[in-house]
Amino acid sequence: MSTPLTFPVDADVPRRTAEEREAILANPGFGKHFTDHMATATWTDGEGWHDGRVQAYGPITLMPSAAVLHYAQEIFEGLKAYRHEDGSVWSFRPEANAARMARSAARLTLPSLTEEEFVDSLRALVAVDVDWVPAHDAGEASLYLRPFMYASEAFLGVRPAKEVTYSVIASPAGPYFSGGLNPVSLWISTQYARAGEGGTGAAKCGGNYASSLAGQLEGIEHGCDQAVFLDSSTHTYIEELGGMNLFFVTRDNRLLTPELTGTILEGVTRASFLELSKELGLTPEERRIPIEEWKDGAASGEITEVFACGTAAVVTPVGELRWDGGSCDARRDGAVGEVTRTIRERLLDIQYGRAEDTHGWLTRLA
């Protein structure tokens, strides 16, 4: 508990050859390939964090009785490392991910890392696997970083685990949409909710994703790409998708997004768009948004653009909304809207160092 957590690198970790790496980087996809290393640390009750290290990426050993496998005491984060033109490597607002992970940890009764420990773990991994960060000119590719923490204690009793493992793995990611910005269709889930009042909706935990899958399938069965979830108590207000926040652009240049009610995940992309909106001549507006307002606004032309956002895909335009007994086009001409394009480009320009980082959002990793 007293010694600070550090992440020294194991010697002699086998690495893929430059040829093997380049073959993967030529077409990385998303979440399929991983770098040579991973960062890990262990927390034990009474002792705190210890045994931080960067070791070979590979299978982990868990007892079948490990609490996470039974009670899903697990949280994660997602952020990217971007290569700038001069070869340096940067992350975007990692302190926001550190703070969110600490909030998720509190909700799932897991221990937390300090912001410094969190950023150190990213830096240690990226430094040793820096060749896995795609080139600056690789078409907005990046190295996706996935920190996660889980109850590794071998115990079936129901209580917060006394042994916890933290880890960071890294996966080269191509442009999320290789075919360009294709609008998706959304299904309003009627059978399922993603989160409920007092639940874990605001925490980034695996359990939320597990429970959103049935809603996703419901959407796919209705011919849609994804599901949009409404508030679970009144089925009236728009919340978010399974893993992305939602934005609406109005005819009079307001940028609307559902307010954080405790059942919505506070996206870093969401927060950044709210800040960027003013620079783009938009008026940000966070409030409860009835699903009927979307349907009416799409029909009347009051809502001109709809998009979802998150770190992995940055921006996903929404083309169509469907529900039991009806549908509407999110955008009548079917094209990707001007604001959707502009705000996405603005964020990517900052992340890739093509625009000045006037907000102080970038942290150098390598």
Summarize as ranges the residues that interact with ligand PLP (CB under 6 A). Answer: 78, 204, 240, 243-245, 265, 267-270, 310-311
CA angle 186, 188, 190 (to 5 degrees): 150
Diameter over CA atoms, the chain: 64
- Residue 248 and residue 256: Cα distance in Å, rounded? 5
Compute the least distance from the CB of residue 33 to ligand PLP, in Å.
Answer: 20
Pick the closer one to ligand PLP by CB: 151 or 309: 309
Q: Rounded distance, CA 297 to CA 328, Å? A: 10
**Nearer Cβ to ligand PLP (160/207):** 207
Token pair listed for 76:
């994660």
Least separation in angstroms between CB 240 and ligand PLP: 5
- Cβ proximity to ligand PLP: between 107 and 162 the closer is 107
Count helices and strands in the chain by DSSP H and E runs? 8, 17
Q: What share of the chain is helix, strand, coil (3-state, %, to 5)?
A: 25, 30, 45
Q: How far is the CB of 173 from ligand PLP (least distance, A)?
A: 13
The alpha carbon dihedral of 77, 280, 255, 225 has a sign of negative
* Smaller CB separation from ligand PLP, 66 or 72: 72
CA torsion sign for 42, 131, 93, 306 is negative
Contact assessment for residue 316 and residue 307, using Cβ atoms and an 8 Å cutoff: yes
Between CA 266 and CA 204 the distance in angstroms is 9
Nearest to residue 263, comparing CAs of 234, 291, 231?
231
Report d(CA 364, CA 332) in Å as an integer: 42
Q: Which CB, 49 or 166, lies closer to ligand PLP?
A: 166
Minimal distance, residue 301 CB to ligand PLP, in Å: 28
Q: Which of 52/94 has CB closer to ligand PLP? A: 94
Closest separation between CB of residue 319 and ligand PLP, Å?
A: 20
Q: Which is nearer to ligand PLP, 42 or 211 (CB)?
A: 211
- In the complex, the smallest distance separating the C-beta of residue 220 from ligand PLP, rounded to whole angstroms, is 18
Q: How far is the CB of 365 from ligand PLP (least distance, A)?
A: 17
Chain centroid offset of residue 85 CA: 25
To the nearest whole angstrom, how small is the minimum distance from the Cβ of residue 96 to ligand PLP?
7
Looking at the Cβ atoms of 215 and 243, the one nearer to ligand PLP is: 243
Judged by CB, which is closer to ligand PLP: 49, or 192? Answer: 192
Helix (H) or strand (E) holding 284: strand 283-287
Q: Shortest Cβ distance from residue 73 to ligand PLP (Å)?
A: 17
- Spell 263-294 as b/e; 16+ CB within 10 A means b: bbbebbbbbbbbebbeeeebeeeeeebebebb
What is the spatial distance between Cα 76 and Cα 118, in angstroms, rounded to a whole number? 12
